[in-house]
Amino acid sequence: MQTKQQQRTALITGASRGLGLALARGLARRGWNLILTARDEQRLRSVRDELSIITHVAAVGGDVTTPGHRHALAILARGHAGLDAVINNAGALGPSPQPELFDYPLEILAKVFEANVVAPLGVLQAVRDELKPGARIVNVTSDAAVNAYVGWGGYGASKAALEQLSAVLAAENPSLRVYWVDPGDMRTDMHQAAFPGEDISDRPLPEVRVPAFINLLEGDLPSGRYVAATLGPVVMEGEAA
């Protein structure tokens, strides 16, 4: 756990459910201060109330595709004396079930790219002056970014764009650690929406992936692409393996 002198602050988008919520809970237990955002304000308030018992939590509901909301997040970050980590977890699946590309509505594709590519960069641009030296940036991606799954062309293309954006961001900012992370299949609302009517109970809960993300946030791994299932938990000084 952190001492008061070592306190760190993370901004997590899409923090009201799924992986974002699991990460917020995991970091709260490790003493991180949290700035949380999500579109579902009621659920976000419940998360804030739950986690504020064990750490400092600031939560503001809104849509990260909106410039005004990203500006509000930057103001919160400034009030916390900067950010040690930004986790771009919020995103959009697109139509459900996923259509093949010849049938993909272009106006919806534009919105998917806005949510999955433009908004994460917009968040980073908004908080760039609040990033502490060596801050970690985590962009949540997907195996659909690198595999040609039928019906996943829109979502996959947006995540492929996010990965290239992340790689260039890392090259342009060697003082930061930039990670683009494939969390793998998980038992989440978004994954269920991708497979309507199917039983996804065999997928792991998002909590299973949290140690891998903590490895990136608290360890010393270089910038790059990571698959959460291949990363073990980081062992900090004074902790048991």
The answer to whether residue 240 is domain-embedded is no
pLDDT at 231: 85
Let me know: does 204 contact 229? Beta carbons within 8 Å.
no
Tell me which of 19-33, 77-91, 152-166, 193-207 is least confident.
193-207
pLDDT at 5: 42
For the stretch 190-211, pLDDT in tens is 554 555 566 546 666 778 999 9
More confident residue, 60 or 189: 60
The model's pTM is: 0.89
The answer to whether residue 179 is domain-embedded is yes
The answer to whether residue 23 is domain-embedded is yes
The number of residues in the chain equals 241
When pLDDT is cut at 50, 70 and 90, the band that residue 3 belongs to is very low
The answer to whether residue 236 is domain-embedded is no
The answer to whether residue 239 is domain-embedded is no
For residues 144-159, give the mean pLDDT.
Answer: 94
The whole domain housing 220 covers: 4-230
**CATH classification of the domain holding 161:** 3.40.50.720
The answer to whether residue 241 is domain-embedded is no
The answer to whether residue 238 is domain-embedded is no
The residue to which tokens 């970014």 are assigned? 145
The answer to whether residue 31 is domain-embedded is yes
pLDDT at 233: 61
133: Cβ contacts below 8 Å, ≥ 6 apart: 175
For residues 66-82, give the mean pLDDT.
Answer: 96
For the stretch 17-66, pLDDT in tens is 999 999 999 999 999 999 999 999 999 999 999 999 999 999 999 999 99
Distance CA 77, CA 197 (A): 40
The residue to which tokens 């909590």 are assigned? 207
Q: How many domains does the chain have?
A: 1
When pLDDT is cut at 50, 70 and 90, the band that residue 136 belongs to is very high
Let me know: does 232 contact 211? Beta carbons within 8 Å.
yes
